[in-house]
Structure 1
Amino acid sequence: MKKLFAQILFFFSAFAFAQETGTIAGALSDKEMNNEPLPFANVTVKNTSKGTTSDFDGLYKIENIPTDIYTIVVSFIGYETVEIPNVKVEANKVTEINTGLGASAAALDEVMITTVSRRDSEVALLLDQKDAVDIKESIGSQELTKLGVSDAATATTKISGVSSSEASGDVFVRGLGDRYLYTTLNGMPIPSDDIERKNIDLSLFPTRIVQSVSISKTYSSANSADQSSGSIDISSRSLVGLQEFGFGTQVGLNTNANAEGIGSNFKRTANESDLSLGFYSKDISTKDAITDQTWNAQSTNMPINYQYSLTAGKKIGEKFKVFFTGSQSSKFEYSEGIFRQFERNRRNVEFTDASLYNNTINTTGLLDLKYRFNKKNEIKALSLFVNKVKDEVYEVGRNREGFVFEEVNNEDQYSQFVRDQNTKQTRLWVNQLLGDHEIGEKNHLTWGLGYNKLNADEPNRIRNEVNIKKPTNTEGELVELGFQGGFQQRKTSQILEDLEYNARLKDEFTVFENDSTSTLKLSLGGNYRNKTRDFTSEFFGVTENGAGVTPPSIDNLDAVFTAENFNNDLLDLRLVRTDDDGNIRPDKYDAELNSSAGFLNVNYSFSKFNLNIGARYQKDMIDLNYDVANAPGGEDGSVEKSYDNFYPALNIKYALNEKHNFRLAASKTITLPEFKEIAPFEYVSATGQITRGNVGLEASNVYNLDLKWEFFPTNKELISATAFYKSIKDPINRVLDRGSAGVFSFFNSGEEATIYGIELDANIGLIASDEENGINIDWGINFSRMWHNQDLKTEFNEDGTLARTFKYNKKNEIGLQGASDYIVNSSLNFSTNWEREFNANISGNYASDKIFALGSAPDSQTQENSVLYNNEIIEEGFVTLNATLSQELSERLLLRFKAQNILNPDIKRTQDVLPLSGGAQSESNQTTRLYTRGAIFTLGINYNF
């Protein structure tokens, strides 16, 4: 069926006829009125019927111009007419022409002509936003470069209502995090690189491969209904112009990683020797690594960040374009601080020197091919490869103050030391074939086929937990292996493979179009997605047979993990489970998602109104089979979930005039549970906290309402205000599980959650100069205020007895996990019109406190008012500040300096804890996690041939 579908699309594209067109757009100013915007001026393409007039902002746009070279005529009554010759229109690009008119003719050197990809420039993106049917915001590569943004994840935080969590790495849109978002590349789904997440890590996409990043905050029936806060679409780069060749390099450092005593002894994992050119490979099994590979952490000095990149592209003949960009970056990070864990208001774990050493090497390659069969249709083939290796060493207790309840019974005599070494390698391969065709004058067909493969592995994770007996007057310090559980000394491997096939088809038909009255367009199509996952995890533990195996120090554990000690039965190899032959029986699960959908959309514009009504029928089926140790209810089992429904969407736009738009949007969507939220596998973090899926988790239904006002003061300025409301039925939350120390799971913990708020957005030009030596200053700010709440429910058995309650500490309701009450993003940009352009930018972000995880009720079903509860964990708000300076040294050479996370704020999580012995019974606020990430300074140079 898949092959037949592909053949049909290829056949269709080969015989379809489409017009290869581009766009001319720009801004006109009045030279007689201090270069104020010039409205109602005429702009025509000479010797054609194409033309338009400028709006109140002096802004104009002429679309669907066949590719060629033209003369553009600009005229206004009483002013000299300007003719601009040799204007080249390229397919799928915007040719920007900005000029002024006055009583005397403008000289051609006063006319600014640039050609950019359609979604690349700020003017083009603003025009798209102004004309769009749904509510969306975009940021293009031009602005990303000016802001010094290095990846797509950071790019999203420059959009109103968007924040990121340093604790979880999630991107939050309107307070809703990972599970409520949907991420696509060129409109096609891409897999997550992390078992813990639904969406891919956007930092894997460096801005050099990004043309633009768009966030649609309202639902369109042409997109998947599995979204609630919005969808993020990354448009990849293509060749701009006829050819391109350039390279860049940069070096930098992290102040924490290069601090005294850290930079000269930066910890690396025992896997370091298996890394080559940013790729990890190992030729021995995890079991053999017990004795054949070191357990000791390694080290390096001078942890300097670097990055280098190469970009090349060329148009071959009149039909074919090829573009490639590749890069590799390496960055070092170090954090040190506090980690505490409280279980039922009791201190369970405490370390005051929690240290994390991280080195991430990211290798990216993008190949983009475009081919035009006969100047009537275009097909694009894209292949994106990403290899990310993250080498992490987590250490706690080196200061001899570590406390773990189950291990350290006497703090005066013992402390605990924990080291977790982990190398994570993610290999992502995305392949897309895209077609875009105009069939006749009224039919527009787009389609896409995709194949994605993801390997996200932890091939050799090493963990040691040892007790340190403190020295006395009669004996020195003694290091002992931890003795609880049998798996505190272990090496593990985790292998995850996702395969995905996806397809989309959309046909838009113009029923009628009358420029002076109305237009009716119909679009219909469908989507298909098949995603499979195979997951395997193996544990190999080492335990003592009695006492007496004592390492000489915490930095020389190899001295005891020897083949001799195993042969002499001083040490034993421990397996979580074995098969009938005594071999390891790994934890594993396999899962499949089948999603198919069809949609119909009607767009009717009349007078100043645009009415868009759509409906989507989508059927989602999730099948999961698991064989996992310690799974609640039994080690093996299966889960089947099926959801099918109609998901309507309504978008209304009223254009009061050329400057003002009013928009109303309403829709119903769904939030599907993810594989990792269902599979009962327990993933242990470096800090020892466990995340486990819940087979009883169900989807959430979400109802959305938005109202927005847009004001375009000039061609590059925007002021907007949005009010929004969401109602989430059966919301999903991360909850600290009852009766399980340090175990987080996922539950439909309430009947309903509501979130509503306002967003204010402004991009304003403070100083704009057209003079040769002039300067430009513009300021952007967006502000969000949200109110959010959800009930906490109680579940009963069929006989009426209490089954489970999510209420704790007399709380019947709580805020939404991940939602900040306040989010503020702002940037100030300075640029010059000098012969060698200079740019400076400073940007900041603040997101207020948010709930990291909900609390939990007492263990016993009859102890609802007991003090043995857990309060919610809060991630406190903080401010980030970044700055970028760039200077053109020549026409082809650019120097750039970046300073990121300049303030280096504390990243802090807290929890209210009730003392259980002595004194007044009032809660105190305790820090559960505290660290800084360090400021990052980078100097780079780019050269374009």
Structure 2
Amino acid sequence: MKKFLFITFLAFSQLLLAQSTGTLKGVLSDGETNNEPLPFANVLIKGTVIGTTTDFDGNYTLNVPAGTHTVVFSFLGYKTIEKPITIVAGETLTVNQILSAEEGVSLEEVVIMSAASRESVSALLLEQKKATVIKESIGAQTLSKIGVSDAATATTKISGVTKSQGTGDIFIRGLGDRYLSTTMNGLPVPSDDVEKKNINLNLFSTDVIQNVGISKTYTTSGYADQASGNVDVVTKDYSKKGYSIGVNGGTNTNVLDYDGDFRTTITNNDVSLGFHKKQYALQDLISRQGWDTETISAQPINYSGSLSAAQKFEIFGKDLSFYVSATHSKSYDYYSGEFQSFRQNREDNVFSDVESFTTKTNTSGYVNLKLKLNDANSLKFNTLFVNKSSNNLYEQGRNGLGFVYDQDPQEDGAFVRDQNFKQTTMVINQLIGKHDLNENNTLTWAGGYNFVLAEEPNRIRNEVNILDVASSSEIQFAHVGDYQQRKSTQKIEDVEYNAYVKNNWKFGNLNEEGDKPFALNYGVNYRRKERDFKSQAIGVLARNYKAPSVDELSSTFVQSNFDNGLNLRIGEVDLFSGELNVLAAFADFNFTLNEKFSGNLGLRFERDEINVSWDVANYVGRIGNTSKTYENLFPSLNLKYEVAENQYIRFATSLTQTLPEFKELSPFEYVSPTGRVSKGNPDLEKSDVVNVDLKWEFFPSRGEVFSVTGFYKNIKNPINLAQSRGSSGNFIFYNTGEKATVKGLELEARTSFIKNEDDDTVLGFNANLTKMWFSQDLDDVFQYKGKTESNLQGASDLIANGSLSYSSNKEKEFVATLTGNYSSDKVFALGSPEDFVNSATLYNDEIIEKGFVSLDLVLSKELTDRLSVKLVGRNLLNPEIKQTQFVRNVNTEIETNETVSNYKQGVQLTLGVKYAF
């Protein structure tokens, strides 16, 4: 009975208490970061112990006794605000507040917190949660923990994204280079490779990255040339005063295990710190510089160094801040493997002992200047300088067992060496302005100037036959095409101007969160891109000439032999130039109809004009041109509905396009080190793409998310790289059919297995899985073996990424992160018939790039407040990188799956030390 009375009394007391209190709630915003939510701010009822802190979304809730009180809002370094309030029992009072910096108070410590949040997992998930469009990002905080060194690798930590091994090429939802776009701070950036549409993301080191975002759905403020998505690299700006220096050293296990001195090209003699200094004209290189390779050392060591500095000044009463960084790195790669090619189901090239030696350098400098004119106006200037080089020595057939079909003087004993130094110098300049015209109207504008110079100053190629395999002492120069011994040069210059002006106008009555429910964004985009390409080759007809060995070919190319029958052919200069002009106007309408439903509706008009002209040897008549002009409307719709607390359903649909690139339109032939030849097709037309996405998201707590996405794409006139029809055996770009479809399902989970008392993750797990189904019809000219459909070129149907991370979350933090990636088989190049009448037997089947698993481990430890050390192991499983092709024996009619190429890249081990002061 006593227990019953006590419980009754307690319940009655709680009822009386509830009837004598009300609820105070609201959102605190950060006036220093464009009114973004302010987490971890203090909310206190003055004169009481009643208080709380805001959550990561800036929300707070308090139960307050009925009556008149004063609520105090405070945050470190910000001006404290006191407000009188009246609480009515049983009712809810909403008080939203913006906090700004205390006048005269240094914001350095506060800015540290703000900048860190823009790079953190939680902040980027908050941005993903609030965004209307489907967007995912990864920040500098995560990149540091998982040991990512560049933007290309960063993107693979996002669902549905894979990267080609050994390159900076990425695939979003199975669609590659031509189907995506790349921007830096929202402005287009140029490609550094004539073979690519997008820039090599390896060029963006993590010293300049604040975060990398991928928008998988389209909004009309962006260029329409994106079918799979846009990659936006947001660069760093000032966050706090400080300086840092870092050094790294390491090796590749393939290099470590190589038995002998590491070899390189003869051009290496003209290279210093990745910069080539031209010594002779191309014609003089034939006899005045040798043709044989050089050696470096037994086991060269990879190394890199970095410097960064950040400072803030006051100039004429204005705040000026800067962030600068500089890096230089050098690395060595080696692999051995095999390569073979087939024509009409017969062996064309067979090499069982391929070797590749590569020396890479990367020198970059980044400067960010930010001028705050006043509370309403600011300017930002970014410039990024990159000089990268790749010095590649590629050999096949040194063992004397190489085979080249129909080669003279013989097919057996074939040996091929390709020496190629490539240097790319790139400068990106951006000026960005932001102006708050009033509390409801914000104008932003930006302009960019980009320049790229890519050169191959002295490419050397030799093709010979080893006549005496046993002793390898009798070497005769091959002469299938008469000039199989050649030196060549190639130069590309890209200049680009781009700009945008955008205005955001908010209107409508304030909602409970203190925001206006409607916004109209409208503006214009402009882009002009120019490319000039020049290539020339000089060949030597060395018929019947011999050399002592494959390492002493230079003894043949001497003046006395040129005076006595060694013929020289100076090739005509191959040229092509391209212009891309884009002018667009757009408008999109953001709306919030209630607390649960919001969306974005947009329309874009874009005019794209492409002009390409050429003068190349492999085009009938040499000279030609093509011009294409497209004018289209591009609509987009993005909807978001809150089905429950922290659970959202998103729907998106849009129309985008894929424009053919300069290199896809120009018929210039480019020969890879293996001998594969690719060229463009002037008859290419653009692809039109319909996109549909449906996504469910759940954010259970700070830093956690679970999501499921279904997506569909319909591509009209898909562009693919295919093996050419006829006798050339080249790879050419085609509109291979009328349409292609992509259907996919993405699953994502970011969660914490273990948290500490401060709600920080101790053991966290991230994983995502993407399954896709591809189909495209094939035009009659691409059908063989009765095949009328194919997968898309470059598309993996299964992608999986995952990471397991441990953090001590203590002073002198220790972090360990294990990450893994898998992408399934994908089509490297589509097949084609060589004889339409006999297409069941005379064809080249598609080449498949096999899937593989990669695994990385990063261990980092803060030794002191300023000194940290990091150990990184990449590609720990060292999987086989392999291409295969089905080949039908013309005699037995039995089809077998043959290896086209295979090699292993080796395990990359790096130890780094960083000191901050």
The TM-score, its normalising length taken from structure 2, stands at 0.89
Distance 1:67 1:752, change over 3 A: farther
Which of 494-503 and 66-75 deviates more? 66-75
Aligned residue identity for 2:663: K
CA distance in structure 2 between the aligned counterparts of 1:68 and 1:933, rounded to whole angstroms: 51
- Counterpart position of 2:15: none
1:232 matches 2:231: yes
1:573 matches 2:568: yes
CA distance in structure 1 between the aligned counterparts of 2:405 and 2:385, rounded to whole angstroms: 45
Q: CA deviation at 1:409?
A: 7.5
- Counterpart position of 2:904: 932
Q: In 2, are the aligned partners of 1:21 and 1:90 still within 8 Å (CA)?
A: no
1:781 matches 2:767: yes
- Counterpart position of 2:850: 876
Match of 1:909 among 883, 894, 904: 883
Q: Describe how 1:453-532 pairs up with structure 2 within 5 A.
A: 453-470=451-468, 477-516=473-512, 519-532=517-530
Q: In 2, are the aligned partners of 1:22 and 1:67 still within 8 Å (CA)?
A: no
Aligned residue identity for 1:929: S
1:26 matches 2:60: no
- Counterpart position of 1:559: 555
1:639 matches 2:626: yes
Distance 1:29 1:886, change over 3 A: farther
Match of 1:70 among 63, 79, 87: 79
- Counterpart position of 2:869: 895
CA distance in structure 2 between the aligned counterparts of 1:245 and 1:884, rounded to whole angstroms: 24
Q: CA deviation at 1:25?
A: 3.2
CA distance in structure 2 between the aligned counterparts of 1:344 and 1:513, rounded to whole angstroms: 71
1:826 matches 2:798: no
What secondary structure, in the 3-state scheme, does the structure 1 residue paired with 2:794 have? coil
Q: CA deviation at 1:439?
A: 1.1
CA distance in structure 2 between the aligned counterparts of 1:323 and 1:658, rounded to whole angstroms: 40
CA distance in structure 2 between the aligned counterparts of 1:728 and 1:115, rounded to whole angstroms: 42
Distance 1:758 1:565, change over 3 A: same
Which of 478-487 and 190-199 deviates more? 478-487
Q: In 2, are the aligned partners of 1:67 and 1:90 still within 8 Å (CA)?
A: no
- Counterpart position of 1:621: 609
- Counterpart position of 1:284: 280
Match of 1:855 among 831, 835, 845: 831
Q: CA deviation at 1:162?
A: 0.4
Q: In 2, are the aligned partners of 1:809 and 1:871 still within 8 Å (CA)?
A: no
Distance 1:902 1:19, change over 3 A: closer
Q: In 2, are the aligned partners of 1:771 and 1:833 still within 8 Å (CA)?
A: no
Q: Describe how 1:290-301 pairs up with structure 2 within 5 A.
A: 290-301=286-297
Q: Describe how 1:335-346 pairs up with structure 2 within 5 A.
A: 335-346=335-346
CA distance in structure 2 between the aligned counterparts of 1:776 and 1:135, rounded to whole angstroms: 28
Match of 1:672 among 651, 656, 659: 659
Distance 1:122 1:54, change over 3 A: farther
1:316 matches 2:316: no
- Counterpart position of 1:582: none
Aligned residue identity for 2:864: S
What secondary structure, in the 3-state scheme, does the structure 2 residue paired with 1:291 have? helix
Q: In 2, are the aligned partners of 1:808 and 1:858 still within 8 Å (CA)?
A: no
Q: In 2, are the aligned partners of 1:19 and 1:438 still within 8 Å (CA)?
A: no
Q: CA deviation at 1:29?
A: 13
- Counterpart position of 2:94: none
Distance 1:118 1:29, change over 3 A: closer
Q: CA deviation at 1:551?
A: 1.1
Aligned residue identity for 1:347: E
Q: In 2, are the aligned partners of 1:67 and 1:89 still within 8 Å (CA)?
A: no
Residue by residue over 1:388-445, the C-alpha shift from the partner in whole angstroms, topping out at 9 and shown as x without a partner, is: 010000000111111111216866xx40111100000000000000011211110011
Residue by residue over 1:319-356, the C-alpha shift from the partner in whole angstroms, topping out at 9 and shown as x without a partner, is: 10121100001111111101010011010001011111
Distance 1:269 1:180, change over 3 A: same
CA distance in structure 2 between the aligned counterparts of 1:487 and 1:54, rounded to whole angstroms: 81
1:206 matches 2:181: no
CA distance in structure 2 between the aligned counterparts of 1:471 and 1:652, rounded to whole angstroms: 69
Q: In 1, are the aligned partners of 2:42 and 2:74 still within 8 Å (CA)?
A: no
Q: CA deviation at 1:889?
A: 0.5
Q: Describe how 1:389-468 pairs up with structure 2 within 5 A.
A: 389-407=389-407, 414-468=412-466
What secondary structure, in the 3-state scheme, does the structure 2 residue paired with 1:484 have? coil
Distance 1:67 1:604, change over 3 A: farther
- Counterpart position of 1:152: 151
Distance 1:723 1:41, change over 3 A: farther
1:684 matches 2:679: no
Distance 1:89 1:589, change over 3 A: farther
Aligned residue identity for 1:276: S
CA distance in structure 2 between the aligned counterparts of 1:435 and 1:23, rounded to whole angstroms: 19
Distance 1:90 1:890, change over 3 A: farther
Distance 1:763 1:408, change over 3 A: farther
Q: CA deviation at 1:477?
A: 3.4
The TM-score, its normalising length taken from structure 1, stands at 0.86
CA distance in structure 1 between the aligned counterparts of 2:887 and 2:776, rounded to whole angstroms: 22
1:610 matches 2:598: yes
Residue by residue over 1:427-470, the C-alpha shift from the partner in whole angstroms, topping out at 9 and shown as x without a partner, is: 00000000112111100111100000000111110000111102
What secondary structure, in the 3-state scheme, does the structure 2 residue paired with 1:116 have? helix
Distance 1:925 1:43, change over 3 A: closer
Q: CA deviation at 1:28?
A: 9.6
Q: CA deviation at 1:514?
A: 2.1
Q: Percent identity?
A: 44
What secondary structure, in the 3-state scheme, does the structure 1 residue paired with 2:547 have? coil
CA distance in structure 2 between the aligned counterparts of 1:226 and 1:275, rounded to whole angstroms: 38
Q: Describe how 1:647-726 pairs up with structure 2 within 5 A.
A: 647-726=634-713
Q: CA deviation at 1:283?
A: 2.6
Q: CA deviation at 1:775?
A: 7.5
Q: In 1, are the aligned partners of 2:334 and 2:355 still within 8 Å (CA)?
A: yes
Q: CA deviation at 1:299?
A: 1.0
Distance 1:376 1:690, change over 3 A: same
Distance 1:858 1:73, change over 3 A: farther
What secondary structure, in the 3-state scheme, does the structure 2 residue paired with 1:287 have? helix
Q: In 2, are the aligned partners of 1:340 and 1:348 still within 8 Å (CA)?
A: yes
How many matched pairs? 852
What secondary structure, in the 3-state scheme, does the structure 1 residue paired with 2:129 have? helix
- Counterpart position of 1:59: none
- Counterpart position of 2:25: none
Q: CA deviation at 1:885?
A: 0.2
Q: Describe how 1:725-804 pairs up with structure 2 within 5 A.
A: 725-770=712-757, 776-794=762-780
CA distance in structure 2 between the aligned counterparts of 1:618 and 1:627, rounded to whole angstroms: 30
CA distance in structure 2 between the aligned counterparts of 1:380 and 1:113, rounded to whole angstroms: 19
Q: Which runs of 5+ in 1 are unaligned?
A: 1-17, 31-39, 56-63, 79-85, 98-111, 577-584, 795-804
Q: How large is the RMSD of aligned CA atoms in angstroms?
A: 3.0
Q: CA deviation at 1:486?
A: 2.2
Residue by residue over 1:894-937, the C-alpha shift from the partner in whole angstroms, topping out at 9 and shown as x without a partner, is: 000000000000000000000012x3x22100000100100000
What secondary structure, in the 3-state scheme, does the structure 2 residue paired with 1:899 have? strand
Q: CA deviation at 1:476?
A: 7.5
CA distance in structure 1 between the aligned counterparts of 2:778 and 2:52, rounded to whole angstroms: 61
Aligned residue identity for 2:267: N
Residue by residue over 1:57-93, the C-alpha shift from the partner in whole angstroms, topping out at 9 and shown as x without a partner, is: xxxxxxx999962348999999xxxxxxx996899x9
Q: Describe how 1:803-822 pairs up with structure 2 within 5 A.
A: 805-822=781-798
Q: In 1, are the aligned partners of 2:152 and 2:169 still within 8 Å (CA)?
A: no
Q: In 2, are the aligned partners of 1:94 and 1:115 still within 8 Å (CA)?
A: no
- Counterpart position of 1:580: none
Aligned residue identity for 1:320: L
CA distance in structure 2 between the aligned counterparts of 1:733 and 1:96, rounded to whole angstroms: 52
Q: CA deviation at 1:44?
A: 11
Residue by residue over 1:561-613, the C-alpha shift from the partner in whole angstroms, topping out at 9 and shown as x without a partner, is: 01111122x2111133xxxxxxxx30001110000100010111111111210
Q: CA deviation at 1:511?
A: 2.2
Q: In 1, are the aligned partners of 2:42 and 2:75 still within 8 Å (CA)?
A: no
1:53 matches 2:49: no
Q: In 1, are the aligned partners of 2:168 and 2:201 still within 8 Å (CA)?
A: no
Aligned residue identity for 1:863: N
Q: In 2, are the aligned partners of 1:465 and 1:482 still within 8 Å (CA)?
A: yes
Q: CA deviation at 1:744?
A: 0.3
CA distance in structure 2 between the aligned counterparts of 1:400 and 1:535, rounded to whole angstroms: 37
Q: CA deviation at 1:541?
A: 0.2
